[in-house]
């Protein structure tokens, strides 16, 4: 199998180009923000201090919020919905964001008016709902967005988020997500101050077949090389046989390596 080419070093001009641009269509929607390494303060203190894999995953990308507080309820067949300020529950087929159509039509070119994206729609499959974040995203050339549930952030168990990769350098459309409702006959609430999604930039070559097919398997323990055993010793054994064992050695090493690569301060 052919080797995978390394990522090219960005030029100074590329560094000035934003990796992601979020366009807010719904004026009242909360703006996205960098994802938090503490998972919005929900990671246990020990994990936040010493578990670099968890904090790196938590902080990778951007939080995206619902543009309004709303609730869904599914009876196993039909979906009802309501939103902050609504007087009642309503059957859900496909609904625009409340009072957004005239706002959209007042700004959009004539040929685009009346084509505002729906805010929430019940899909034909039972219990599946599509939600628009009120945003459209554009990424730098060659980059896509992985749209997923917020990493390591505990949420209610009444729904699941589908994951999807959108080629947002080529596709300028609504930033949406699909949800699978998993409980019936109970209101499922979505708060405008709690992340609905985490979007994570990906270089497109990272998930292309040519890249992902470039792997190999070592099926037997006897096939490990001396170098493999040396690395295993350094990773697993050495911390246990040290007379003084510092906590969070992996986190410390990863942060120092990252600081060296970026020219920053590891603060360790």
Write down the pLDDT at residue 154: 82
3-state secondary structure labels for all residues of the chain: CCCCCCCCCCCHHHHHCCCEEEEECCCCCCCCEECCCCCCCCCCHHHHHHCHHHHHHHCCCEEECCCCCEEEEECCCCEEEEECCCCCCEECCEECCCCCHHHHHHHCCHHHCCCCCCCEEECCCCCEEEEEEEEEEEECCCEEEEEECCCCCCCCCCEEECCEEECCCCCCCEEEEEEEECCCCCCEEECCCCCCEEEEEEEHHHHCHHHHCCCCCCCCHHHCCHHHHHHHHHHHHHHHHCCCCCCCHHHHHHHHHHHHHHCCCCCC
d(CA 261, CA 241) in angstroms, rounded, equals 30
pLDDT tens across the length of the chain (268 residues)? 444 455 556 665 556 789 999 999 999 999 999 999 988 888 888 888 888 889 999 999 999 999 999 999 999 999 999 999 999 999 999 999 999 999 999 999 999 999 999 999 999 999 999 999 999 999 999 999 999 999 998 877 799 999 999 999 999 999 999 999 999 999 999 999 999 999 999 999 999 999 999 999 999 999 999 999 999 999 899 888 876 666 655 556 666 666 666 666 554 4
Enumerate the domain spans of the chain.
12-204, 216-262
Residues 12-204, CATH architecture = Distorted Sandwich (2.70)
Write down the pLDDT at residue 48: 82
């Amino acid at each position: 199998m052919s080797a995978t080419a390394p990522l090219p070093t960005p030029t100074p001009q590329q560094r000035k180009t934003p990796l992601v641009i979020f366009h807010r269509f719904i004026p009242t929607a909360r703006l996205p923000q960098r994802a938090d390494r503490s998972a919005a303060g929900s990671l246990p203190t020990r994990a936040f201090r010493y578990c670099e894999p968890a904090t790196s995953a938590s902080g990778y990308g951007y939080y995206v919020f619902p543009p309004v507080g709303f609730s869904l309820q599914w009876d196993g067949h039909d979906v009802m919905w309501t939103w902050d300020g609504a007087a009642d529950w309503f059957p859900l087929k496909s609904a625009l964001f409340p009072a957004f159509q005239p706002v959209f039509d007042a700004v959009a070119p004539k040929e685009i008016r009346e084509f505002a994206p729906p805010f929430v729609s019940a899909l034909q499959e039972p219990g599946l709902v599509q939600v628009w974040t009120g945003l459209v995203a554009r990424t730098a050339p060659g980059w896509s967005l992985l749209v997923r549930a917020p990493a390591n952030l505990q949420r209610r168990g009444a729904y699941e988020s589908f994951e999807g990769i959108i080629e947002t350098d080529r596709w300028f459309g609504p930033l949406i997500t699909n949800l699978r409702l998993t409980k019936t006959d109970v209101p499922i609430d979505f708060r405008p101050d709690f992340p609905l999604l985490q979007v994570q930039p990906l270089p497109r070559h990272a998930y292309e077949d040519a890249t992902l097919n470039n792997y190999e398997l070592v099926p037997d323990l006897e096939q490990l090389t001396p170098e493999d055993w040396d690395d295993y010793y350094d990773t697993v054994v050495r911390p246990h046989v040290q007379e003084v064992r510092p906590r969070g050695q992996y986190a410390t090493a990863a942060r120092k390596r990252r600081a060296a690569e970026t020219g920053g301060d590891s603060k360790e």
